[in-house]
Structure 1
Amino acid sequence: MFFRRRPTLPAELSDEELLLRYRQYGDVQDLGVLYERHLTAVFAICRRYLRPDEDAQDAVMQLFEQLVDKLQKHEVGNFTAWLHTTVRNHCLMVLRARQRTSPDGGPLILHFPDATDMESAASRHLPSDDPDEAASTEARLRHLEHALTELPDGQRQCLEMFYLQQKCYRDIADATGYELSLVKSYLQNGKRNLKRMLESYPTDAAS
């Protein structure tokens, strides 16, 4: 007597097994389960770059649609690391598109300062097709995200609103309730502290 083997449910598979099965059979349900496991992290990354939250939510959905095609074409080793890089690059491209369509056509400003010039750093760190440059960018992004978490709340909040959301001093003061002089102080001290922390990080992308 032969028994029909029950198909393994997606929830019972590891990330690697789900990814392999999706590449083999193209069942979007497998990809959906895999993506849902990482949804909290994906949304958190999107919120760092895109405001309001509705824009971050749109990015989360757009990313899933991209993965349907990308993961059929590209072999991925470490899915978590690859996904986080893909999410960041997508958000950077969204911001780049905003800059191209902005009325003033000004330079793209992200909360991605380097040790030399906070205002112009973003234009040098957009996604690259060069694997070495992409790896270096990923390392700098990790350093930046860690450095931001180390800043006092007021400095971090003002930096993100000024550089990411491109709010003026008065708008930041109105949104946070801080005095205008305190906003300026938080920005000045935050830039100095962030620069100091980033200078202390290794420059090797593998670090």
Structure 2
Amino acid sequence: MQDTPGVIGVVLAGGGSRRMGRDKALLEWRGQPLLDHLRARLWAAGCQAVVTSRAAPGCIADLYPDRGPLGGIHAVLRSRPAVDYLVVPVDMPLLSVALLRGLIAAGRDHGHCYYRHSFLPCYLSGDPALPERLAQRLRRGDLALGGFLRALRARALDGGDAAAFLNTNTPEAWRRATALDAAPQTLCKEIGS
């Protein structure tokens, strides 16, 4: 797909992976680290640039540590002003390029949006006021991504199979995702290779 001007892809990979017991971003998925898999998905969806929210060299570290997804999103918005952002978590390996492209298309038409199955991935329209709005929430300890998206009046979209939004926070969820990926069924064809 051709690059979508102004859209920066963001992989949120800064969590502690406590429930998984090891760094989720480094788990192997289809022969590569999960972080690389998600970055490749964002490039394939047409993002003009892809960045990673993570305390590591070459990544964007949180300005408000231990604040969950909102902390990572805030740090990226502060350091990489853009027209729009497509934000994905590192622990959703079954997200398809088609779902991400659909989110970009809907975001271009309607602004802030996400799929009804999950608050992530989400599309955020560039707005110079967003970083400060996020900072205010972070300072007062309001860390709910859903609450932030509702405050933005983000649109909840229909679409995608619920399994595509499987969040692999635990070893059990990881086993389920790898089983779904290996199974020759319609879902695997739908969520892409």
TM over 0.5: no
In terms of fraction of residues, the more strand-rich structure is 2
In terms of fraction of residues, the more helix-rich structure is 1
Structure with the greater relative contact order (CA < 8 A, sep ≥ 6): 1 or 2? Answer: 2
TM-score (norm 2): 0.32
Larger Rg: 1 or 2?
A: 1
